[in-house]
Structure 1
Amino acid sequence: MVIKNYMRINKFLSFSGLTSRRKAETLVLSGKVEVNDKVISDLSYKVDLNKDVIKVDGKLVEIKKRRHYLLFYKPRWVLTALGKDPGGLKTLDGYLKGLKLRLFPAGRLDFDSEGLLLLTDDGEFAHKIHHPSFKVIKKYQVLVNPVFDMVDKERVLSGCVLMGKFVKPDNFKILKNLSDASWLEIAFHEGMKHLIKEYLKKMGYSVKRLIRVGIGDFKLTGIPGSYRWLSEEEVSNFKKKYFGDTAGDSDGEY
Structure 2
Amino acid sequence: MNSNSGQRHPGSSSQLRLHVFLARCGEGSRRACEELIKKGRVRVNGRVITNPAHRVDPQEDRVTLDGRDVHLVGKFLYLAFHKPPGYLCTRSDPQGRPLVYDLIDPVLPYKVFSIGRLDFLSSGLLLLTNDGEFADIVMHPKHRVEKEYLVETKRPIPRALLESYLKGIRIEGERYVLKAYKSKSPHKVHLILEEGKNREIRKVFYSSHLPIVRIHRIRIGPVRLGRLRPGHFRNLTKEEIRLLREGRGHDDHSH
TM-score by length of 2: 0.79
Aligned to 2:238: 232
- 1:209 maps onto 2:225 in alignment: no
Aligned to 2:229: 223
CA contact (8 A) 1:70 1:229 kept: yes
CA contact (8 A) 2:137 2:244 kept: no
Distance 1:9 1:37, change over 3 A: same
1:137 shift after superposition: 0.9
Please give the alpha-carbon distance, in whole angstroms, between the structure 2 residues aligned to 1:168 and 1:52: 48
Please give the alpha-carbon distance, in whole angstroms, between the structure 1 residues aligned to 2:108 and 2:241: 20
Partner SS for 2:185: strand
1:228 shift after superposition: 0.7
Aligned to 2:248: 242
Alpha-carbon displacement from aligned partner over 1:165-209 (angstroms, at most 9, x marks no partner): 4331111121112xxxx1011121114210111122234523221
CA contact (8 A) 1:144 1:209 kept: yes
Alpha-carbon displacement from aligned partner over 1:123-165 (angstroms, at most 9, x marks no partner): 2222332332221111111012421223444222111224534
- 1:71 maps onto 2:80 in alignment: yes
Partner SS for 2:152: strand
Percent of aligned positions that are identical: 30
Distance 1:61 1:101, change over 3 A: closer
CA contact (8 A) 1:28 1:42 kept: yes
Unmatched tracts of structure 1, length 5 or more:
244-254
Aligned to 1:136: 145
Please give the alpha-carbon distance, in whole angstroms, between the structure 2 residues aligned to 1:120 and 1:151: 39
Alpha-carbon displacement from aligned partner over 1:22-72 (angstroms, at most 9, x marks no partner): 4423331232323465432123x2426588725124655443363101111
Aligned to 2:97: 89
Aligned to 2:35: 26
What is the one-letter code of the residue matched to 1:229? N
Alignment of 1:1-254 (within 5 A): 8-35=17-44, 38-43=47-52, 45-47=53-55, 53=61, 55-57=63-65, 61-64=70-73, 66-82=75-91, 85=93, 87-96=95-104, 97-177=106-186, 182-221=187-226, 222-242=228-248
Please give the alpha-carbon distance, in whole angstroms, between the structure 2 residues aligned to 1:88 and 1:27: 22
Please give the alpha-carbon distance, in whole angstroms, between the structure 2 residues aligned to 1:241 and 1:125: 10
Alpha-carbon displacement from aligned partner over 1:215-250 (angstroms, at most 9, x marks no partner): 11111122211211113343123212438xxxxxxx
Partner SS for 2:107: coil
What is the one-letter code of the residue matched to 2:114? P
Unmatched tracts of structure 2, length 5 or more:
1-8, 250-255
How many residues get paired? 237
1:95 shift after superposition: 2.5
Give the RMSD, CA atoms, in angstroms.
2.9
Please give the alpha-carbon distance, in whole angstroms, between the structure 1 residues aligned to 2:154 and 2:21: 45
Partner SS for 1:242: coil
Please give the alpha-carbon distance, in whole angstroms, between the structure 2 residues aligned to 1:37 and 1:93: 29
Moved more, 224-233 or 167-176: 224-233
